Structure formats: structure tokens, C-alpha cells
């Protein structure tokens, strides 16, 4: 097993004594242990970043939405005009929030039956 030198610096502050003592701790650890320490630190940082990052809404174009729902572009345009799906105008583009579309599908799904499709 390859042994690596790992340098760990710890600062200690002694409030009972006016002197601030700095301690330098050198210890030998194996490559596997160093790898585990680094992986744990990276995992912790990634989780913190994920928690601090706000969710970004994913927008779909009319074409992307039509492809997702397996319908024609004109169907999406008709649904938008009749208010069946909510759209958002950003600049000159008409976009749809993926989450809103998925919620609408979940909302409609329990009421779908063969009779609903015929009538």
C-alpha cells in the first residue's frame, strides 16, 4: 500500500491564555483513506450547493411540448388559445413551463375514459 503524506493544519484559540497557539499536525495516511476524506468533503459541498441553488423552471417551446405530448403543433396552439394549457411570453417567444404541463396532465388523468375521448 502506498503511503502518502497528508498535511492537516488546525488552528486553536486558547481563551484562558492571551497567546494564540497555532498547531501544525502532520500525519501519515494511506491513499485509500485520503481518497475517502476527499470524496466525503466533495459530497458535503455538493449537497450544500444543491440546497443553496434555487430550482430553475424548465421551459418548453411549442415544438418541444408537441413532441413531449405526441400531438401536433397546431394542437398545442389551439390548447394555448383556448386556455387548456398555460403559456408564458418571454420576449417574442411563447413558452410552457414543464412543471405546469405535468401538473395539468396529472390533474386530467383521473378523469380520462373512453367516453371522455369520444365526446
Torsion sign over Cα 51, 57, 63, 69: positive
Higher pLDDT, 97 or 17: 97
How many Å apart are CA 5 and CA 31, to the nearest integer? Answer: 9
User: How high is the pLDDT of residue 37?
Assistant: 87
pLDDT greater than 50 at residue 111:
yes
Catalogue all structural domains in the chain, each as residue range(s) with its CATH number. 3-52 (no CATH), 59-118 (1.10.1660)
What gap in Å lies between CA 107 and CA 24, rounded to an integer? 62
Query: Would the pTM of this model clear 0.75, i.e. be above it?
Result: no
- What the block records as the C-alpha cell of 38 is 476527499
Residue-level pLDDT at 117: 42
* pLDDT above 50 (res 3): no
User: pLDDT (tens digit, 9 = 90+) per residue, 20-76?
Assistant: 555 555 567 778 888 888 899 888 888 887 766 656 678 999 999 999 888 999 999
Amino acid at each position: 500500500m502506498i503511503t502518502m503524506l497528508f498535511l492537516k493544519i488546525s488552528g486553536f484559540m486558547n481563551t484562558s491564555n492571551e497567546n494564540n497557539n497555532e498547531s501544525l499536525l502532520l500525519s501519515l495516511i494511506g491513499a485509500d483513506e485520503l481518497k475517502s476524506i476527499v470524496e466525503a468533503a466533495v459530497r458535503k459541498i455538493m449537497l450544500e450547493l444543491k440546497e443553496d441553488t434555487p430550482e430553475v423552471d424548465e421551459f418548453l417551446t411549442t415544438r418541444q411540448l408537441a413532441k413531449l405530448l405526441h400531438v401536433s403543433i397546431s394542437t398545442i396552439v389551439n390548447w394555448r388559445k383556448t386556455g387548456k394549457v398555460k403559456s408564458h411570453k418571454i420576449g417574442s417567444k411563447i413558452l410552457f413551463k414543464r412543471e405546469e404541463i405535468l401538473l395539468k396532465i396529472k390533474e386530467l388523468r383521473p378523469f380520462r375514459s373512453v367516453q371522455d375521448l369520444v365526446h
